[in-house]
Chain A
Amino acid sequence: MVRLPADRRETWVTGIGLVSSLGDGLEGNWDALRSGRVNIDLERYAPWMIHPLVPLNLDSQIPKKGDQRQMEAWQRIGAYAAGLALDSAGIKHDKEILARTDMIVAAGGGERDLDVDAAILTARADGRSGALNERLMNGLRPTLFLAQLSNMLAGNISIVHGVSGSSRTFMGEEAAGVDAVRIAWVKIASGQSEIVLVGAAHNGERKEMLMLYECGGFNLKKDFASVWSRNGGGFALGSGGVFLVLESRPHAERRGAKPFARLVNVVSGHSSRTAPGGVERALGGLWESLGVTENTTAIYTAATGAAVATREEAAFLSAHGDIPVRAVGTSFGHLSEAQFPLTLALASLSLSSGALVPPNDTSGRETEIDAIPAQIVAVGVGHWRGEGMALVEAVS
Chain B
Amino acid sequence: MTTLLETGSASTKLRNAKTTMRDGHNRPVVVVTGMGVITSLGEGKTENWTKITAGESGISAIRRFSTHGLKTRIAGTIDFVEVKPFSSTTLAERLADIVIEEAVGQSGIGRKGDFPGPLFLGLAPVEVEWPQREEIARASGEAGSMDYDILLRTSGGGRFTQVHARYLFGSVADHLCATFGTKGSPISVSTACASGATAIQLGVEAIQRGGTDAALCVATDGSVNAEAMVRFSLLSALSTHNDDPRSASKPFSKNRQGFVMAEGAGALVLESLDAAQSRGAKILGVIAGCGELADTFHRTRPKPDGVPIADCLRNALADASMTFDQIDYINAHGTSTPRERQDGISWHRRCVWRSCSQDSGLIQQINDRAHPLCRRHHRSGIHLSYT
Contacts and interface: CB of A to CB of B under 8 A. Distances in A.
A187 B296 CA distance: 23
A155 B231 contact: no
A151 interface: yes
Contact of B296 (A1, A109, A137, A159): A159
B205 interface: yes
Contact of A186 (B133, B169, B211, B378): B211
Contact of B231 (A140, A191, A210, A217): A140
A150 B124 CA distance: 9
Nearest to B163: A215
A176 interface: yes
Size category of the binding interface on chain A:
35 or more
Interface in A148-167: 148-152, 154-156, 158-159, 162-167
A137 B234 contact: yes
A194 B197 CA distance: 22
Nearest to A164: B294
Interface string B209-233: 1111000000000000011001111
A117 B128 CA distance: 12
B34 to A, nearest CB: 18
Given A133-B67, A162-B296, A385-B170, A151 B190 contact: yes
A186 B209 contact: yes
Interface in A363-393: 382, 384-386, 388
Contacts of A312: none
A41 interface: no
B187 A125 contact: no
B298 interface: yes
A215 B191 contact: no
Interface stretch (A2-10, A27-35, A85-93, A347-355): A2-10
B169 A171 contact: yes
Contact of A176 (B130, B148, B169, B292): B169
Contact of A171 (B125, B128, B146): B125
Interface string A175-201: 110110011001100111000000000
A151 B128 CA distance: 18
Contacts, number: 262
Contact of A167 (B143, B168, B208, B294): B294
Interface string B133-170: 11011100011111111011001111011011101111
Helix, strand, loop or mixed for chain B's interface? Answer: loop
Contacts of A140: 230-231, 234
Given A125-B137, A169-B190, A215-B163, A145 B231 contact: yes
Interface in B170-225: 170, 173-174, 177-178, 183-192, 194, 198, 202, 205-206, 208-212
Interface residues of B, number: 89
A277 B183 CA distance: 19
Contacts of A172: 168-170, 173, 186-188
Interface string B27-64: 00000000000000000000000000000000000000
Counting chain A CB atoms within 10 Å of each CB, the highest count among B128, B148, B183 belongs to: B148
Counting chain B CB atoms within 10 Å of each CB, the highest count among A103, A208, A272 belongs to: A208
Contact of A4 (B136, B151, B211, B299): B211
B281 interface: no
Contacts of A178: 185
Contacts of B202: 168, 183
A130 B234 contact: no
B376 interface: yes
Contact of A217 (B151, B158, B226): B158
Nearest to B1: A167
A311 to B, nearest CB: 18
A214 interface: yes
B226 A132 contact: yes
B98 interface: no
Contact of A2 (B117, B169, B294): B117
10 contacts: A3-B210, A112-B127, A146-B300, A146-B373, A150-B125, A154-B294, A155-B294, A158-B294, A183-B202, A269-B184
Q: What 6 A-B pairs come out closest when comparing CB atoms?
A: A216-B164, A172-B170, A171-B169, A190-B209, A121-B146, A215-B160
Given A146-B235, A216-B164, 7 more contacts: A3-B210, A107-B190, A133-B68, A192-B205, A213-B164, A217-B157, A217-B161
Interface of B: 66-71, 116-118, 123, 125-128, 130, 133-134, 136-138, 142-149, 151-152, 155-158, 160-161, 163-165, 167-170, 173-174, 177-178, 183-192, 194, 198, 202, 205-206, 208-212, 226-227, 230-235, 292-300, 308, 373, 376-378
